Chain A
Amino acid sequence: QQPVQSPQAVILREGEDAVINCSSSKALYSVHWYRQKHGEAPVFLMILLKGGEQKGHEKISASFNEKKQQSSLYLTASQLSYSGTYFCGTERLVGSGNTPLVFGKGTRLSVIA
């Protein structure tokens, strides 16, 4: 099941903050966040695991509410380089074995001077 991201797009001025949300209808084991610039490969930002462990970017923070199957990505004091499309990828909670990441449709972030 594809996670739902909101908003679909956002425009910020340099220095402003933004929050991008990701929700799933299925129980989740982990949530990943990636950023993709136009014409380039997606780049890893953050992984949030069931149980509270986080690994990722120092300047970007995120939360994972396991009970609600929701995650939020917090971008503070935005810079021009933050522009791109942000994708959340979710890994389902299953009995055993690995499952692939299923990505949302993305949130397009534009930071202007």
Chain B
Amino acid sequence: NAGVMQNPRHLVRRRGQEARLRCSPMKGHSHVYWYRQLPEEGLKFMVYLQKENIIDESGMPKERFSAEFPKEGPSILRIQQVVRGDSAAYFCASSRQGVNTGELFFGEGSRLTVL
């Protein structure tokens, strides 16, 4: 059973470009969570999605950031017009049901560098 798959693992963008990060949850998991991690810091919650629905986006910046989890295909975190402050590791996690039923399974992360 494949784990949570994230791609790309590393992404380099110039200021003003767009970054698209993809996450395929574990088979049978319908809950997806995106977290951002800066060097030497914790995991900052961004958005929680279920299939075709955004459940909680309280951690998402109001501008330039968007996320989706379509009926078919991976979840996508999209960052438009990237700035240097967007450089970070972005982790995706999935669960079969809500977090109170068990663990989150994390992907290896996508490391974004903005030049």
Binding site for B on A (CB under 8 A): 2, 29-30, 32, 34, 40-44, 47, 49, 55, 87, 89, 91, 97-106
CB atoms of B109 and A41 under 8 A apart: yes
Partner of B100, one of A30, A42, A44, A104: A30
Partner of A41, one of B42, B97, B99, B106: B106
Partner of B45, one of A32, A43, A97, A102: A102
- How many A-B pairs have beta carbons closer than 8 Å: the answer is 68
- Which residues of A lie under 8 Å from residue B98 when comparing CB positions? 98-99
The CA-CA distance from A41 to B105 in the complex, in Å, is: 9
CB atoms of A100 and B103 under 8 A apart: no
CB atoms of B108 and A47 under 8 A apart: no
In the complex, per-residue mask of B79-115: 1 if CB is within 8 Å of any chain A CB, else 0: 0000000000001010001111011111111000000
- Which residues of A lie under 8 Å from residue B109 when comparing CB positions? 41
Some 16 contacts from A to B, beta carbons below 8 A apart, are A30-B100, A32-B99, A32-B104, A41-B107, A42-B91, A44-B104, A89-B43, A91-B99, A98-B48, A99-B56, A100-B33, A100-B99, A101-B33, A101-B99, A103-B45, A106-B41
In the complex, per-residue mask of B39-58: 1 if CB is within 8 Å of any chain A CB, else 0: 00111110010000001100
CB atoms of B33 and A32 under 8 A apart: no
